[in-house]
Each structure stands twice: as C-alpha cells, then as structure tokens.
Amino acid sequence: MSNPSTGTSRGAGSGRSGVRTAAAAVVAAGLALAGCSSSSAAKPAASSSVQGPLTIGISLSLTGDFSDSGKAAQRGYKLWAQTVNAAGGVLGRHVVLDIVDDTSSPTQVVTNYQNLITKNHVDLVFGPFSSLLTVPASQVAKRYGYAFLEPAGGGPAVFSQALHNLFFVQPAPVVQQGDVFADYILSLPAAERPTTAAYPALDDPFASPIAAEVRTRLEAAGIRTVYQQIYPAEATDLTSVVSAMAAKKPDLVVAGTQSADAYALVKAMVLLKWAPKMLYLSNGANDPLNFPTNVGAGHVNGIFSSGDWFPTATTSGNAAFVAAYTATYGGTGTSIDSTSAEAYSCGQLVQEVAAKTGKVDNATLISTLHSGSWPTLEGDLSWNSAGAANSSYVLVQWIGGKLLPVFPANRAQSTPVLGKLPWGG
Amino acid sequence: MHETIQAIILGLLTGGVYALMASGQTLIFGVLKVVNLAQGALVILAAYLSSSLFASFGIDPFLTVPIVAPAMFLLGVAVQWCLLRPLHRSDASQLSLLVTFAVALGIEGLLALVYKSDYRTMQPSYANDSWTVAGYQIGEVRLAACLLSLATLGALALLLNRTRFGRAVRATVQNPTAARLLGVESTRVAALGFGLGAATAAAAGAVYGMVYSFNPNSHYDLISRLLSIVILGGLGSLGGTVVAALAMGVLSALVGALVSPVWSDFSFFVVLLAVLLVRPRGLFGARLRGAL
C-alpha cells in the first residue's frame, strides 16, 4: 500500500523533509494570496437546479516525487467518474474531472486550486496526494467555502488546522494506524498476551508515532518495553538494530515502518535467524504485491500489519470497484494501489450526499457529511470537527501466503494465526 | 560480548560490499582525477539491469555480472568520451563534478520512468541465508560480496600493474604530458579507465540489489558513503578503499548495535574528519596513489 501521507520513497527522505519544512511557509503564502483575492471571484455552489456538467477540480502529483501515487489517485478518480457517468451522472449531471499537475510541489498545488476555483469555476474540488500538499490546498478550499474531500492527507498537520470543510477519506489519522493491533493484543486472554515488547521505528512522522501510540497502550496494560529505538531514514542496513533487539529477547516487535525499512528489518531477522513470537510492521508488510517480492515469499507468513483498504474487503461497492478497475486498467486486485480506492471513495461520498439530499453543492456536502455515517470502499466513515475520520484501520496478517484481514471481527476474513514465524527464532 | 562480535562480523561483511562499490569510484579518480558523482547511480542502474535479467529470465544475480558489465563499460566510455573529454582542461576537475552529477540525475530520471519508484530487491533463494559459525551468523551473499570485492580489486591491480594498458594508465596518472610525448593516447586511456570504473558497478549492483532494497533515488545515500570511503582511504588508492570500507562497516555496525543507529553514520564521519585533520590525503592517499 502506498503511504497515504508522505509518498513512498525513503531514498529521497531528506529532500522531502526539507520540502515539508517549507510547507508551513507555503501555507502562510497561500493564506496571504487567498487573502488578497476577491472571494466573489469564486462560485462555491452547484445545486441540482444548475444545468450542465458537474465539474470537479483536482490537483494531482502526476510528475515529481509523488507521481506514482498521484497517478494511482488519478486512476481512482477517473474510474469513479467513468462509473457514475455510465449510470447517468450525479443527479443527472455528467461528471467532468478537471485534473491538473502540481509536480509534487506544495507551491504549485496552491496555484492550481486557486485557478481551479477562481478561473475554471469548478463546482467541487477533491484533494491531492500527501499531507504535504493537502495542508496548503485545504486552506485554499476553505477560503472559498469549498468542501475538501481528500483521500491522502492523514498527517497531524492536516488535522491541527481544525478545518470544518475538510474530510479525510480514510478510516482514521495515520498515527492511529497501529491502534487496531493494540486492540487485538489487548483482546487476547492474558495467558496468550506477550509480556515483553520491542519498538524499532523509522525516524519519520508517519512511522515512529504509530509505534509510540501502540507502546503507550501496551505499557499501560503491563507489557514491558525491553527495547525501543528510532533509526534514521538513511539506515539501509538494519542488521545492527535487529542484533541489538534480539539480545533483549522480546516476545513482540512493533515496528513503525515505511516500505524499504520494513523489508530491511525482515531481511535482517532472517539473516540473523531470529524471530519474535509476534511481529507487527505498520507499513510495507501491508503491500500484497511488493512485500513478498522484497523479503521472499517464504518469509511473510505470520507477520501482522494494518491498512485502510484491501482488494478482498467487503465494504460498500468494493467488489464492483475491483472488477471495474481490473477491467479498465488490467492487472489483479492485489495490483491495485490503495490510493486509487481512497480517491474513488471521495466520489462515492458525493454520490451518496446527492442521493440523500437531492443537492450537490459545497455547503450541503459540508453540513451533510458532518452528520451520520457514510459507506465507502474504506468502510463506514464519519468525521470529527477537524476532518479526521472516527473509524479504525483493519488489522491484516499474512496467512498461507495471502494478506488477510483478521481484526476487528466485523471486517475479518480469517482468524489470526499465532505461531512461530517461518524463519529461525 | 556476543552482540559485539556479531556486530564486528556484520560490519566487516558490510564493509566488503561497500569496498566493491567504491572500487570503481577510486579507479576513476586515480585515472582521471574526476570525482565521479554518478558512481552511485551507476551501481543502482546495474542493480536494475541485474534485477530485470533475474526477474525476466531467471538468471542468477551473480551470473548477470558478465552480461551487465560490458554494457556498463560502454556506458562509462560514452560518458567520458561525449561529456567529460570536451571539458576545457583548466576547468575539467570542477566541471566534471557538475557533469557527473547531471549524469546521475539523468540515470535517476530514466530509471523512475521505466521502473517507477517502488522499492525492489532481488530475492534468489539464498539471498537472506546465513551460515552459523560458533553461534554467529555470516550472511552468504555478503561473504560472496567480500570475495567478489577482493577478486575485482585483485583483477584491477593486475590490470594496472601487469598490462600495457595498465602502464599507460599509470603513466597518464603520474605525468599526462610526458605520457603523451611517449605515445600514450591519454584520451583513449581516460575513456577506457572510466569504462572500467563503470563496469565494476555491474558486480556492485548485483550484490547491492540482493542485500538492500533500492529505488531510483537510492543513489543519493549511496554516493555520500562511497565518497566518504574513498576520501578516508585516500583518493585513488585501491588498498585504502578496502581499509576505509571495512572501517566504516565495523564502526557503523558497532555503534548501531551498542549505542544507537542514529549515531552510526555520524560516528564514521567524525572519524573521517579526524583523519583528514591529521592526514588531509586520507589514510593511504600519499603512499599508494602513484602505485595505482
């Protein structure tokens, strides 16, 4: 699964962090720019009485660092538009997507949404990829009273803005991704629970806080921490981390990871022939396509992870989505990037609000989505006042070479398997 | 104690991998006096080529080396002949930094276009296997990389010391003008030298692709380490490169295991700076450069 918040590449981590640091300045610049503009230039309204197509403006990273994920989001948005248009559109209006490239730049994304709203006069806007771009983009949307359904900005900076018009279309903020694993551990009978745990984590705002949240809860439940370590993004070789961790003999390892370091941790454990009784990796292991090819298909069984969407999910419209996606773009369910599902879900929400209210304007979207629960590919979503969804991620485990949802019970397709990991230990 | 010894073993093996990767960098500097900022990208390019051969045809990564090496050699010759040779002599050292960095960015862009940005690793059946010796784990691929590194460096030493081409290279290194007067075609030697340096990336890429996950951006981290190794060892010194790579590997592994991985790279740079303060040419720069 692609990281919904940061893009995917650790190799450019230092560069990205520099860009992230600049994000605050860009937000300020965006606000100043918006402040200088005339709010009357935009028309944040699109009701059922308006004739013509329903235009939706979207800025996506079609080039630059986030381009792979940006293109995945584009596929999701386009697939939804194609699907809804084939069914007659939204309230009879043909959906037209106005997609522009932001080159993964937090500066360009501000310009893009400014232009989409004030020059192109789009009826609605959907969000870009990554928290880095969502923060400044959402400020522009707020300025003009647009609802901001965004599929991939789940970092703390997004929700600290406390924007009433923002809706993160994933089950929960990214830092809560590991909570479902803590819930599972605490649901086990005392005799089956681990007694000691280790918490290695990548020095990344979308990795280490996940492990820290789980640690806080497990420590409160009496599970003793025997090792915790944050490793830098440049650390390509984690054998020394695993060697030190193994010396502490933890029952459980909860690792706050992205992709490459998740692979490196597993490879190091295999090389050192050491395995804990239970292993949870926040990211990397939740990618059904790339994880087995990077650590070896024989080394995946038993490993836990968590995520927001999976091809076999029984959520609203998922089977149809997977079928339409593979028919349109080829491949199989496992080759679908979760970002596509997240983007598609934004469209589902517009459809549902339109069906319920008979309207599809921004004010209606904002007020309506803040009440009740809304079924999407991501599960049933509702939001707090800052736009963070109130649901939880799904715990998954590699069982028999397949990545299966195992917890909570209402999303599970298999029972968790507790036993030795397939190497050493 | 077990943890310390295991860290030293892992460090030595990791150092062997880096020595293999840095040998081409050292050779190119020795021959051309060019700090090749594209060496990391060449290693990643070779890793991708090796990975493609492994994925598409099932060719063992080690067996891809003789296939990838000639391609990398030709690429290296082309880069030198087309991009570095035309540089004005008086500015060549400085401008070559920009040219090789541009080459690195070009390779990165091309790889991103062809392969996307997902991380990948080559996983032959033995990729993560290790031997247990007296309770310590010795990674098979890393040990093979050490041996490959020694073989590569040995072959380079033989080439430079026992062949007509090697004599021409050494003559060019010591005095380019005198070499030209004696009939050595220094531009041709330079192109072949750069090609050889690039060809070593084939072996390095195959090993790197099995040990680490990589994507088109991986060359940034890699080049900083390779430069550190060749500077510590002494620019242009093959022997110094090996010593520096092993030192880096052991120090990083020890600090990572016993202190914190946060400090493992930093500790190496502290040692690097300390050595350069005392010996600006690096550990073996003065003594061995002429012997390259």
A299 touches chain B (CB under 8 A): yes
Picking from B13, B105, B213, B268 by the largest number of A CB atoms within 10 A of its own CB, the best residue to mutate is B213
Integer CA distances (angstroms), B98 to B34, B91, B92, B218, in order = 11, 11, 10, 19
Residue with tokens 């890699």: B222
In angstroms, the CA A120 to CA A122 distance is: 6
Six-digit token string for A153: 């900005």
Chain A residue at shortest CA distance from B120? A294
| Confidence class for position A198, pLDDT limits 50, 70, 90 | very high
Grouping H, G, I as helix, E, B as strand and the rest as coil, residue B128 is coil
Beta pairing partners, A59: A100
**Please, which pLDDT band fits residue B157 given cuts at 50, 70 and 90?**
confident
Asked which of A146-155, A282-291, A398-407, B148-157 is least confident by mean pLDDT, the reply is B148-157
Please give the pLDDT value at position B240: 86
Residue B162 pLDDT class (50, 70, 90 cuts) = confident
Q: Do A9 and B217 touch (CB under 8 A)?
A: yes
Put simply, the answer to whether A264 touches B212 (Cβ < 8 Å) is: yes
The shortest C-alpha distance from B50 to chain A (Å) reads 15
Rounded average pLDDT over B53-82: 93
- With tokens 């490959």, the residue in question is B148
Alpha carbon A387 to chain centroid distance?
14
- Using 50, 70 and 90 to split pLDDT, how confident is the model at A425? low
**How many other β-carbons are positioned within 10 Å of the β-carbon of residue A316?**
18
Q: How far apart are CA A105 and CA A133, in angstroms?
A: 7
Give the torsion through C-alpha atoms of B110, B113, B116, B120, to 10 deg: -30
> DSSP state, B84?
I
At B148, the amino acid letter reads L
A410 interfacial to chain B (CB closer than 8 Å): no
CB A185 within 8 A of CB A252: yes
B292 Cα to chain A: minimum distance (Å): 31
Res A39: pLDDT: 40
Instruction: Return the minimum-mean-pLDDT range out of A22-26, A93-97, A228-232, B41-45.
Output: A22-26
Q: For A99, how many CA atoms within 13 A lie in the half-sphere containing its CB?
A: 20
**Subunit contact B262:A203, Cβ cutoff 8 A:** yes
Q: Which residues pair with A57 in a beta bridge?
A: A98, A125
pLDDT > 70: what percent of chain A? 88
A355 contacts: CB under 8 Å, gap ≥ 6: none
Dist. CA B133–CA B112, nearest whole Å: 41
- Closest to B119 (Cα-Cα) out of A329, A75, A295: A295
Burial class (CB in 10 A: 0-12, 13-18, 19+), B132: exposed
Q: Do B262 and A296 touch (CB under 8 A)?
A: no
Cα end-to-end span (Å), chain B: 39
Is residue A4 over pLDDT 70? no
Question: Å from A339 to nearest chain B CA?
Answer: 14
Lowest mean pLDDT among A129-138, A209-218, B153-162: B153-162
Give the pLDDT band (50/70/90) at residue A252: very high
pLDDT in tens, B86-109: 887 677 777 888 999 999 999 999
Structure confidence at residue B262 (pLDDT): 84
Q: According to the model, what pLDDT value does residue A86 have?
A: 96
Q: What pLDDT was estimated at residue A424?
A: 66
Please indicate whether, in this complex, the C-beta atoms of A293 and B132 are within 8 angstroms of each other: no
Burial class of residue A51 in the structure, from the number of CB atoms within 10 Å of its CB (0-12 exposed, 13-18 middle, 19+ buried): exposed
What's the token pair of residue A232?
């830098």
Closest chain A residue to B254, measured at CA: A240
User: What is the percent of chain B with per-residue pLDDT over 90, rounded to a whole number?
Assistant: 26
Whether the CA torsion A250, A252, A255, A259 is positive or negative: it is positive
Write out pLDDT tens, residues B247-281: 988 998 889 888 888 888 888 888 888 888 888 77
Whole-prediction pTM value?
Answer: 0.81
SS3 call for B30: helix
Closest C-alpha to A43, from A32, A26, A57, A28 = A57
DSSP code at position B283: S
- The C-alpha atoms of residue A323 and residue A328 are separated, in whole angstroms, by 9
Interface contact A236-B137, CB threshold 8 A: no
The pLDDT score that the predictor gives to residue A7 is: 37
- Specify the 3-state DSSP secondary structure of B215: coil
Share of chain B above pLDDT 70, in %: 97
Please write the tens of the pLDDT for every residue from A313-358: 889 999 999 999 999 999 999 889 999 999 999 999 999 999 999 9
- Tens digits of per-residue pLDDT, A176-197? 999 999 999 999 998 899 999 9
* Confidence band for B34, pLDDT divided at 50, 70 and 90: confident
Is residue A50's pLDDT more than 90? no
- Pairwise CB contact (< 8 Å): A294 & B252: no
CA dihedral A379, A377, A128, A56 (to 10 degrees): -120
Q: Residues of A with CB below 8 A from B129's CB?
A: 271
pLDDT at A411 over 50: yes
Q: Which residues of B touch A (CB under 8 A)?
A: 2-3, 6-7, 10, 14, 112, 116-121, 123, 127-130, 132, 137, 139, 211-221, 252-258, 260-262, 264-265
Average pLDDT score over residue span B44-59: 95
Give the pLDDT of residue B235: 76
| Among the ranges given (A36-50, A345-359, A367-381, B257-271), the one the predictor scored with the smallest mean pLDDT | A36-50
Please tell me if residue A422 touches chain B, with a CB cutoff of 8 Å. Answer: no
Q: Answer whether A253's CB lies under 8 Å from A272's CB.
A: no
Length of chain B: 292
Nearest to A278 by CA among A206, A214, A213, A212: A214
**A78 touching B (Cβ < 8 Å):** no
Q: How many residue contacts between A and B have a Cβ separation below 8 Å?
A: 123
Mean pLDDT of B153-171: 83
Least confident of A228-242, A278-292, B257-271: B257-271
CB burial of residue A18 (10 Å; 0-12, 13-18, 19+): exposed
Q: What's the whole-number average pLDDT of chain A?
A: 87
Q: Which residue of A has its CA nearest to B139?
A: A271
List the single range of A90-94, A226-230, A269-273, B188-192 with lowest mean pLDDT.
B188-192
Q: CA-to-CA distance for B289 and B174, rounded, in angstroms?
A: 9
Three-state SS sequence of chain A: CCCCCCCCCCCCHHHHHHHHHHHHHHHHHHHHHHHHCCHHHCCCCCCCCCCCCEEEEEEECCCCCCHHHHHHHHHHHHHHHHHHHHCCCECCECEEEEEEECCCCHHHHHHHHHHHHHCCCCCEEECCECHHHHHHHHHHHHHCCCCEEECECCCHHHHCCCCCCEEECCCCCHHHCCHHHHHHHHHCCHHHCCCEEEEEEECCCCCHHHHHHHHHHHHHCCCEEEEEEEECCCCCCCHHHHHHHHHCCCCEEEEECCCHHHHHHHHHHHHHCCCCCEEEECCCCCCCCHHHHHHCHHHCCCCEEEECCCCCCCCCCHHHHHHHHHHHHCCCHHHCCHHHHHHHHHHHHHHHHHHHHCCCCHHHHHHHHCCCCEEECCEEECECCCCCECCCCEEEEEECCEEEEEECCCCCCCCCCCCCCCCCC
CB-CB neighbors (< 8 A) of B2 in chain A: 247
How many Å apart are CA B184 and CA B180, to the nearest integer?
5
Q: Count how many residues are written for chain A.
A: 425
Q: What is the token pair recorded at A265?
A: 């941790």
Q: Is the pLDDT of residue A98 over 70?
A: yes
**A293 neighbors B123 (Cβ within 8 angstroms):** yes
Residue A235 pLDDT: 82
Q: How far apart are CA B206 and CA B169, in angstroms?
A: 27
Count how many Cα atoms sit within 13 Å of the Cα of residue B122 in the half-sphere of its side chain: 30
